[in-house]
């Protein structure tokens, strides 16, 4: 199917929006190259992160996402309104936190502890920025569906030299996550946020924890680039601050594309928009 056929059902403006979203989602190799180069230019001597540190990173990312999800659910439960700082404000915050963390180096004893703490802080800021973007595209940020869609953003867009063949195309990733997302959504609906918040304090096996684990496995691939770049104390501050800036810029672009697509799926249908997305060439 070509664009002319798509225009019969979808307006020219919305076809252009889908195309722009696809470019943002699929054609971001330059960003991941930048992430790789930052790590490569620091002469760390690390050709591959040891298995033990890979597992530590996976656990750190999973714990971080658990804290972020718990915080979001608590905010929803209280009916608290989220303020809306600008994207520039979020970039300044995460860049500063990354530079502070990088000053100690990621592989030193203290540096590793600081890295894990800073990862939680910067991921919280990134999630708040993603939520703001979702709201700007007409999403109800107090709905479970939107909250889980925000979490999915950490799995979307681009790849890195450590991806090892992970499938990263937009709709393929969404389809792969759909069962986990549905299970988590049903679990929250059946149990309520209070019980979910309590369960997130523990390492328990339930649908939402399984979803967090799946997201963490993909997000940790990108976090490994940050870990490598921050391995040299002081010099790592430059890499940590730069990487945090690039990370947030990346996820803001991905979030805008993701929630643009979701908005158009609500306007037309998921099948029609997916067909348009898959057939538009970039």
Per-residue confidence (pLDDT) for residue 122, from 0 to 100: 83
Spatial contact of 138 and 263, defined as CB atoms under 8 Å apart: yes
For residue 111, how many C-alpha atoms fall within 13 Å in the half-sphere facing its CB?
A: 22
Each residue's pLDDT tens digit, 242-273: 677 777 788 888 999 999 999 999 999 999 99
Map out the domains of the chain as residue ranges.
3-279
Each residue's pLDDT tens digit, 6-56: 555 899 999 999 999 998 887 655 555 655 555 554 444 445 567 777 787
Instruction: Output the CA angle 172-158-225, nearest 5 degrees.
Output: 130
Per-residue confidence (pLDDT) for residue 94, from 0 to 100: 53
Spatial CA neighbour of 239 closest among 106, 123, 146 = 106
Residue 194: burial class (beta carbons within 10 Å; 0-12, 13-18, 19+): exposed
Each residue's pLDDT tens digit, 98-113: 545 444 444 444 445 5
């Amino acid at each position: 199917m070509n664009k002319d056929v798509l225009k019969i059902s979808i307006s020219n403006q919305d076809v252009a929006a889908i195309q722009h979203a696809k470019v943002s989602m699929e054609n971001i190799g330059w960003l991941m190259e930048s992430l790789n180069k930052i790590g490569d230019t620091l002469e760390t001597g690390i050709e591959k992160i040891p298995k033990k540190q890979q597992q530590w990173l996976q656990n750190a990312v999973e714990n971080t996402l658990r804290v972020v999800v718990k915080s979001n659910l608590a905010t929803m439960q209280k009916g608290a309104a989220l303020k809306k700082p600008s994207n520039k404000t979020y970039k300044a915050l995460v860049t500063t936190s990354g530079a502070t963390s990088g000053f100690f180096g990621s592989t030193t004893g203290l540096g590793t502890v600081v890295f894990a703490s800073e990862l939680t802080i910067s991921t919280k800021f990134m999630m708040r920025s993603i939520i703001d973007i979702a709201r700007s595209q007409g999403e109800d940020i107090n709905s479970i569906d939107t909250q889980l869609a925000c979490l999915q953003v950490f799995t979307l867009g681009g790849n890195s030299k450590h991806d090892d063949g992970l499938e990263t195309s937009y709709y393929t990733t969404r389809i792969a996550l759909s069962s986990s997302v549905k299970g988590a959504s049903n679990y929250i609906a059946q149990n309520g946020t209070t019980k979910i918040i309590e369960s997130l304090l523990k390492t328990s096996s339930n649908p939402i924890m399984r979803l967090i684990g799946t997201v963490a496995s993909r997000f940790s691939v990108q976090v490994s680039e940050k870990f490598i770049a921050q391995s040299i104390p002081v010099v790592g501050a430059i890499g940590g601050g730069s990487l945090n800036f690039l990370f947030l810029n990346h996820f803001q672009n991905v979030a805008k594309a993701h929630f643009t697509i979701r908005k158009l799926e609500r306007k037309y249908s998921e099948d029609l928009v997916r067909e348009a997305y898959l057939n538009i060439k970039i």
